């Protein structure tokens, strides 16, 4: 692995800190928080952090994190996968405590809000991805098959999450939310191309 | 190349439009009466966090936000007086589920109602209110209207009810 220059490393981590830090800071200073109860606030931030994780996730598996070796990059990717599941469970659980009928409507795909359907689809795809990752070795899924299934699910997750996040009027500030979402999409598409997921060449 | 200006389809469309304008010009059709005023359907999620029997109050909490509306009868559109409309929302003074976020009012002789209530703030991704007609004389209707902007200071809602 080629060592990157100190400036590039600082630039990368500094840039990532800004791209993730601004939307988190903006959400923390949202006026809506003063009218929300703790469970709802925690649920909201679990969603914000999950969106942040969706930017780091492709960067880790694509080995774009500077001066982090491939094995550790993969360990980070796995850890973030677990964290994503935890964030989603916290998000849905906190919303359930806040307003059970609204969450039941969302889970049954009968909510009046157009964004909840995207969130629920993305949620099931994250759970399916986690299950697939756990069962991958037991069922000896071929690498290419695994890669395509995983990438297919990842595409639905990123598209669903971005649609979910952008259509919501919540604690996140519009422009920093949009920037984070667009960067997460770009990172996902880039890693797909770099890993040649859809190529038939061995 | 030839431009066909009149074919069967344009001719039919033109004659239909001509007939329609002739009828409306003669004042033969008043739209609401012709079709019959359609009843307001219950909206998805309208009954979420409903607490039956909200008290009739002059104002919910400290007020500052104005909910207005009308209640009319389906078909002829006659204004309905004395109808009890219940409403609740996530406001600056409490969550939808909390009792202090709920209140009810009665319509006046013109079928109008209004309620001074705390500012509605976005919850579950949208700035919205909840209203219910659930008094038995007419079929129950639950509404969940959206505010155009979460900065709006007022929200207007129309009920058209069908006798039960």
List, for residues B57-113, the tens digit of each pLDDT value. 999 999 999 999 999 999 999 999 999 999 999 999 999 999 999 999 999 999 999
Candidate from A35, A110, A113 with C-beta closest to B124: A113
Sheet holding B112-117, edge to edge: B112-117, B65-73, B154-161
- Residues of chain B found within 8 Å of residue A111, distances taken between Cβ atoms: 44-45
Q: What is the pTM of this model?
A: 0.86
Phi then psi for A44, rounded to 5 degrees? -60, -45
- Residues of chain A found within 8 Å of residue B121, distances taken between Cβ atoms: 32, 35
In this complex, is the C-beta atom of B100 within 8 Å of any C-beta atom belonging to chain A?
A: no
String of DSSP letters for A1-58: -PPPPHHHHHHHHHHHHHHHHHHHHHHHT-GGGGGS-HHHHHHHHHHHHHHHHHHHHH
Check residue A2 and give its pLDDT: 61
Name the nearest CA neighbour of A83 among A16, A150, A130.
A130
ipTM for the complex shown: 0.87
pLDDT reading at B35 higher than 70: no
In this complex, is the C-beta atom of A173 within 8 Å of any C-beta atom belonging to chain B?
A: no
Check residue A1 and give its pLDDT: 53
Compare all CA atoms of chain B with the CA of A103 and give the residue at the minimum distance.
B124
Check residue B26 and give its pLDDT: 47
The Cα–Cα gap between A106 and B11 comes to 49
Chain B: closest CA distance from residue A127 (Å): 23
Check residue B1 and give its pLDDT: 41
Candidate from B45, B95, B125 with C-beta closest to A105: B45
Structure tokens at A108: 């049954």
Compare all CA atoms of chain A with the CA of B47 and give the residue at the minimum distance.
A101
Interchain proximity B95–A37, CB inside 8 Å: yes
The model's confidence at residue B22, banded by pLDDT at 50, 70 and 90, is: very low
Between residues B31 and A141, the one the model is more confident about: A141
Residues facing residue B114 across a β-bridge: B68
Top residue of B125, B142, B149 to mutate, by most chain A CBs within 10 Å, is B125
pLDDT reading at B25 higher than 50: no
Candidate from A99, A169, A170 with C-beta closest to B97: A99
Residues 6+ apart with CB under 8 A from A95: A40, A43, A102, A103, B124
Chain B: closest CA distance from residue A16 (Å): 27
According to DSSP, the β-strands at B154-161 and B65-73 are parallel
Separation of CA A70 from chain center: 21
The Cα–Cα gap between B39 and B160 comes to 5
Compare all CA atoms of chain A with the CA of B97 and give the residue at the minimum distance.
A99
The Cα–Cα gap between B133 and B39 comes to 12
The Cα–Cα gap between A164 and A9 comes to 32
The Cα–Cα gap between A155 and A167 comes to 18
> How much of chain B, in percent, has pLDDT values that exceed 90?
79
> CB–CB of B72/B133 below 8 Å?
no
Interchain proximity B44–A37, CB inside 8 Å: no
What are the residue ranges in chain A where pLDDT is below 70? Answer: 1-2, 200-202
Interchain proximity A37–B49, CB inside 8 Å: no
- Residues of chain A found within 8 Å of residue B91, distances taken between Cβ atoms: 35
Place of tokens 């966090």: B49
Candidate from A37, A116, A170 with C-beta closest to B122: A170
Check residue A4 and give its pLDDT: 76
Residues 6+ apart with CB under 8 A from B136: B164
A114-164: pLDDT as tens digits: 999 999 999 999 999 999 999 998 888 898 899 999 999 999 999 999 999
- What 3-state DSSP class applies to B61? coil
pLDDT reading at B141 higher than 60: yes
The Cα–Cα gap between A121 and A107 comes to 9
Interchain proximity B125–A169, CB inside 8 Å: yes
Check residue B24 and give its pLDDT: 46
Check residue B40 and give its pLDDT: 97
The CA–CA distances, whole Å, from A166 to A48, A115, A163, A179, B73 equal 12, 8, 5, 10, 39
> CB–CB of B64/B25 below 8 Å?
no
Check residue B23 and give its pLDDT: 45
Chain A: closest CA distance from residue B144 (Å): 9
């Amino acid at each position: 692995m080629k060592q990157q220059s100190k400036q590039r490393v600082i630039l990368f981590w500094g840039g990532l800190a800004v791209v993730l830090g601004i939307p988190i800071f903006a959400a923390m200073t949202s006026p809506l928080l003063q009218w929300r109860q703790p469970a709802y606030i925690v649920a909201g931030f679990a969603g914000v952090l999950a969106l942040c994780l969706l930017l780091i996730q492709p960067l880790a598996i694509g080995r774009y994190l500077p001066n982090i070796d491939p094995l550790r990059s993969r360990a980070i990717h796995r850890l973030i996968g677990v964290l994503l599941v935890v964030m989603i469970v916290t998000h849905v659980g906190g919303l359930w405590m806040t307003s059970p009928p609204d969450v039941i409507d969302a889970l049954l795909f009968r909510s009046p809000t157009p964004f909840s359907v995207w969130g629920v689809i993305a949620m099931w795809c994250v759970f399916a991805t986690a299950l697939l990752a756990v069962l991958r070795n037991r069922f000896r899924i071929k690498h290419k098959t695994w890669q395509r299934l995983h990438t297919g699910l990842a595409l639905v997750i990123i598209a669903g999450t971005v649609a979910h996040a952008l259509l919501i009027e919540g604690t996140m500030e519009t422009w920093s939310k949009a920037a984070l979402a667009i960067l997460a999409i770009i990172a996902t598409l880039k890693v797909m191309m770099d890993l040649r997921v859809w190529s038939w060449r061995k | 190349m030839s431009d066909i200006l009149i074919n069967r389809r344009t001719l039919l469309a033109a004659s239909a439009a001509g007939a329609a304008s002739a009828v409306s010009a003669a004042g033969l059709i008043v739209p609401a009466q012709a079709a019959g005023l359609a009843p307001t359907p219950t909206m998805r999620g309208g009954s979420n966090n409903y607490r039956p029997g909200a008290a009739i109050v002059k104002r919910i909490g400290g007020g500052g936000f104005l909910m207005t509306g009308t209640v009319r009868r389906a078909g002829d559109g006659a204004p309905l007086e004395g109808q009890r409309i219940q409403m609740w929302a996530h406001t600056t003074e409490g969550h939808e589920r909390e009792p202090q976020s709920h209140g009810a009012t009665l319509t006046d002789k013109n079928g109008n109602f209004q309620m001074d209530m705390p500012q509605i703030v976005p919850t579950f991704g949208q700035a919205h209110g909840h209203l219910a007609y659930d008094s038995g004389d007419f079929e129950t209707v639950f509404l969940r209207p959206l505010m155009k902007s979460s900065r709006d200071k007022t929200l207007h809602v129309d009920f058209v009810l069908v006798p039960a």
